[in-house]
Chains A and B, each alone.
Chain A
Amino acid sequence: MKTLKIEELSKNFGSTEVLKKINLEIDEGNFLVLLGPSGCGKSTLLNIIAGLETINEGDVFIDDYNVSKVEPKDRNIAMVFQSYALYPSMNVKENMIFGLKQAKTSKEKIQEQLEKVSKFLQVDQLLERKPSQLSGGQRQRVAIGRALVREPRIFLFDEPLSNLDAKLRVEMRREIKKLHQQLKTTVVYVTHDQTEAMSLGTNIAIMNHGVIQQNDTPEKIYNKPSNTFVADFIGSPSMNLIKGVLKENSGDLLFTVSGSNLEIPIKDYDFKDKSNLNNKEVFFGIRPEHIFFKKFNESDFEINLRADLSEYIGHEQIMTFDYANQEVLAKFPSTIKIDLGKETKLYFDLTQASLFNAQTEERI
């Protein structure tokens, strides 16, 4: 049984296709993050799961039950919104129990739930206050509390941290993580912030233009991106994608860029399909953090590149190198001194490299 299953879901607003044949599954207790740039359809997908948007095609199942035409209140879900959406005219207590009252829960049960959740979230001192008298973090907590008291099957979070300042955001992120560890409720969480996605999710579904690009664990998303969009979207700075050709030379495979004598040997790479690799146009992908200034691993590949630019950002520096007229970025500790305009010895960790088909932009 899947807690949440989405089958062949399509949605359009007028002639704009927002979601195209989405398929998605979540197991009990998992934390799924929908990640993508703005306008990719992630919030629409969440609203559809909540029942706040209608579906054009496909179905949504909660606990194997088709809820596509079920009212939001009957789906056994709770949602936390970006703007908190606390009812301005009600105090904290009234906000938290509004849903239970609508569901005609008994007074004793309401009181019990309220006490339990408000203690748990440390808002029991604030029950009589109006939302306007709360700080951002407190509002966020009350909003989560309002979702918690209903003991839903699935929690839906719609960018819950983007209205907070940077410091509070990190704190609240940890609290949400703790919350999930303690409650083990299934969560669907929408964000455009990759750090949030990586640190919170047990699974991340990366979306672009209404299509799920990759749905995997954070480790797989980071290490084995399934296409150039994912490779480019995750990581800061994002993965270097060097355009070139694969050449087979007496059994060995090499990555070359035309008009340059730079060659990178491709050994032990886990190809999906080993045929027709010779002369294939590819992107060679390597993350800035997998380029070193000295040899760390025996297998690191040594290469000489000209340093063009240095960006100092405190604990580290981002260097831009020239690779056959293509830019390659590397991340070093800021204590390393590298002269600009000179050839520098660098070491690529080839075990972390990715190869993509230059036409389809898919991982090969």
Chain B
Amino acid sequence: MQDSLKSSSYKQLEQKSKYTNMFLRWFLYFILILFASYFIFPLYVMVVTSLKTMEEIRQGTLLSWPSGLNLESWAVAWGGRGYGAGDTFLRPYFWNSIKMVLPAVFFSTFIGAMTGYVLTKWRFKGDQWVFLFLLFGCFIPFQAILLPMARTLGVLGISNSVIGLVLVHTVYGIPFTTLFFRNYYISVPTELVKAARIDGAGFFKIFFKILLPISAPIIVVTVIWQFTQIWNDFLFGSTFSFGEAAPIQVALNNMVLSSTSVKEYNVDMASAIIAGIPTLIVYVLAGKYFIRGLTSGAVKG
């Protein structure tokens, strides 16, 4: 008698927990969809607007669907209208940015890997201080170093050039890249280095043959980080370069602000998307490693 009573009350509890779970699940999906749309909304507006003609923009609403696949504004954003003065378009500046970002990412990542290697595997007196000062570099507001940097670039004779920007971004990338690599290499057993030393490998051989081949995850993290930082940088670009030598973010700004007559929203949107595409590509290609590299540092021999 008591048993059956018990089992029926269990059934009730079971039913109740089923409904609670179902409700929570639906609620979860509701929240997720809500936030997803909130984040995708601006992108939607940008893409849709870039495909509309000015006529459509004036007449339709922000959300309305474009009449067709009108790529003209993209062509204008990328290649200009073809008349002389005052025609700003992104193509030359895009290549400026590429020329700036590739060497800057490469050098800052490489130097960071080297310093991280030395700070963890070839400890020396006062190495914590060196690391501390490097870390300090992560916290300095970049506005504070604009003037001294401008002077330095002037003395070196590379102000207003892509090379100058490469130098600036390499120097200010090193604190971050060093931090990444140091934290990664600290989890690599030092016995590896000892074994390699007994085997007769020297400083560079150990770095290139033993450590670098196991650094893929942290290289990916560093490259994504540096690429995003340097590509999206506006402050250094606008301060240390103008005219022909400007990177894409500066050009985008000039383009959007310098329109004299009518605001061409479709061209502006297309330009903004073009300026954002390379970072998106890097994330899509390497994003998987990004998460993996951030969460795991351990290398098991």
A residues adjacent to B (C-beta < 8 A) = 47, 50-52, 72-73, 77-79, 81-90, 98-99, 102-103, 131-132, 139, 146, 158
CA–CA, A157 and B66, complex, Å:
74
CA–CA, A114 and B199, complex, Å:
15
Q: A87-B192, A88-B214, A89-B214 are in contact. Are A79 and B198 (CB under 8 A)?
A: yes
Q: A79-B194, A85-B195 are in contact. Are A98 and B300 (CB under 8 A)?
A: no
Of the candidates B198, B213, B214, B299, the one whose C-beta lies within 8 Å of that of A77 is B198
- Whether B301 pairs with A102 at a CB distance below 8 angstroms is no
CA–CA, A52 and B196, complex, Å:
11
Interface size on B, residues (CB 8 A): 19
Q: A72-B198, A73-B200, A77-B198 are in contact. Are A85 and B205 (CB under 8 A)?
A: no
- Whether B205 pairs with A132 at a CB distance below 8 angstroms is no
Q: Which residues of B contact A132 (CB under 8 A)?
A: 300
- Whether A86 pairs with B199 at a CB distance below 8 angstroms is no
- Whether A83 pairs with B200 at a CB distance below 8 angstroms is no
- Whether A102 pairs with B189 at a CB distance below 8 angstroms is no
- Whether B199 pairs with A81 at a CB distance below 8 angstroms is no
Does any Cβ of A come within 8 Å of B191's Cβ? yes
Q: A81-B191, A82-B191, A83-B191 are in contact. Are A88 and B301 (CB under 8 A)?
A: yes
Q: Which residues of A contact B214 (CB under 8 A)?
A: 88-89
Q: Which residues of B contact A77 (CB under 8 A)?
A: 198
- The contact sample of 23 A-B pairs, CB cut-off 8 A, is A50-B194, A50-B198, A51-B198, A52-B194, A52-B197, A52-B198, A72-B197, A72-B198, A73-B198, A78-B198, A81-B191, A84-B301, A85-B189, A85-B192, A87-B210, A88-B214, A89-B209, A90-B213, A98-B201, A99-B199, A102-B199, A102-B205, A146-B195
- Whether B194 pairs with A99 at a CB distance below 8 angstroms is no
Q: Which residues of B contact A131 (CB under 8 A)?
A: 301
**Residue on B nearest A132 in the bound complex, by CB:** B300
Interface centre among B205, B209, B210, B301 (most CB of A within 10 A): B301
Q: Which residues of B contact A90 (CB under 8 A)?
A: 213
**Residue on A nearest B195 in the bound complex, by CB:** A85
A217 shortest CB reach to chain B, Å: 29
- Whether B300 pairs with A79 at a CB distance below 8 angstroms is no
A93 shortest CB reach to chain B, Å: 14
- Whether B201 pairs with A83 at a CB distance below 8 angstroms is no
A54 shortest CB reach to chain B, Å: 12
Q: A87-B210, A89-B214, A139-B301 are in contact. Are A81 and B200 (CB under 8 A)?
A: no
Q: A83-B189, A87-B192 are in contact. Are A99 and B198 (CB under 8 A)?
A: yes
- Whether B301 pairs with A79 at a CB distance below 8 angstroms is no
CA–CA, A139 and B210, complex, Å:
17
